[in-house]
Structure 1
Amino acid sequence: MIKRPVDDTLRVIKAILAPLEQRRIVDIGCGRGALLAGLAEAGARVAGIDPDAEALAEARRTAPSAILRQANAERLPFTDGAVNAALFVDSLHHIPVAGMATALAEAARIVEPGSDIIVVEPLPEGTFFNSMRPIEDKTQIRAEAQDAIAAAIKEGRLLLVATSEYDRIEAYTTVADFIDHIVALDPSLRDKALEERERVMKRFFTLAEYVKGGYRLRQPMRLHHLKRPAAGP
Structure 2
Amino acid sequence: MTSTAPACARMVATETNTLLAATFDPAGARRLLDVGCGYGETTAHLAGIGFDVLGIDPSPAAISQARLRHPGLRFAVASAEDLPDDLGRFDGALCVNALHHVAPQAMQPALRRVLARLDPPAPLLVIEPLPEGSFFHAMLPVEDETHIRDLAARAIAGLVDDGDARLVDLLRWDRISLFSGLDAFLDRLVAVDPDRAATLDRNRPAIEAAWSRHAQPTEHGFRLVQPIVGWHLAPPG
Show the counterpart of 1:183.
Answer: 190
Pairwise mapping of residues 15-26 of structure 1 onto structure 2 (< 5 A)? 15-18=22-25, 23-26=30-33
Percent identity reads 35
Of residues 64, 78, 82, the one that matches 1:75 is: 82
In the alignment, what sits opposite 1:147? 154
CA distance in 1 between partners of 2:70 and 2:95 (Å): 17
Letter in 2 for 1:185: V
Q: Distance in 1 between matches of 2:70 and 2:168?
A: 29
Deviations 1:162-183 (A, max 9, x none): 0010011222111011112212
Which runs of 5 or more residues in structure 1 are unaligned?
Answer: none
User: Per-residue deviation at 1:209?
Assistant: 2.0
1:83-98 alignment to 2 at 5 Å?
Answer: 83-98=90-105
2:172–2:227 Cα contact (<8 Å) kept: yes
Output aligned runs, 1:74-153, within 5 Å.
74-79=81-86, 82-153=89-160
Q: How many pairs were matched up?
A: 229
Residue 36 of structure 2 is matched in structure 1 by: 29
**Are 1:203 and 2:200 counterparts?**
no
Equivalent residue of 1:83, what SS?
coil
Matched, 1:167 2:174: yes
**Which sits farther off after the overlay, 206-215 or 97-106?**
206-215
Does the CA-based 8 Å contact 2:29-2:122 persist in structure 1? no
Cα distance in 1 for residues equivalent to 2:189 and 2:118: 33
CA distance in 1, matches of 2:202, 2:35: 33
Distance 1:119 1:22 in 2: 16
Deviation at residue 7 of structure 1 after TM alignment: 3.0
SS at match of 1:134: coil
Instruction: Summarize deviations over 1:42-64 as a string: whole Å, max 9, x none.
Output: 10000011012222122124433
- Which residue number in structure 2 is paired with residue 216 of structure 1? 223
CA contact (8 A) 2:23 2:123 kept: no
Q: Is the 8 A contact 1:45 1:66 kept in 2?
A: no
Classify 1:105/1:21 alpha carbon distance in 2 versus 1 (closer, same or farther; 3 Å): closer
Shift, 1:86, TM fit: 1.1
Q: 1:184 Cα deviation (Å)?
A: 2.2
Q: 1:71 deviation in Å?
A: 1.2
Which is worse superposed, 55-64 or 185-194?
55-64
Residue 183 of structure 1 aligns to a residue in which SS? helix
Question: Secondary structure at 2:23's aligned position in 1?
Answer: helix
Name the CA shift for 1:227/1:4 in 2 (closer, same or farther; >3 Å): closer
Distance 2:222 2:11 in 1: 19
2:52 equivalent in structure 1: 45
TM normalised by structure 1 equals 0.91
Q: CA deviation at 1:26?
A: 0.5
**How far off its partner does 1:19 sit?**
5.0
Q: Where does structure 2 lack aligned partners over 5 or more consecutive residues?
A: 1-6
By how many angstroms is 1:79 displaced?
5.0
Output the amino acid matched with 1:74. Answer: E
Q: Matched residues in 1 for 2:189 and 2:212: separation?
A: 16
Is the contact between residue 34 and residue 54 of structure 2 (CA under 8 Å) also seen in structure 1?
A: yes
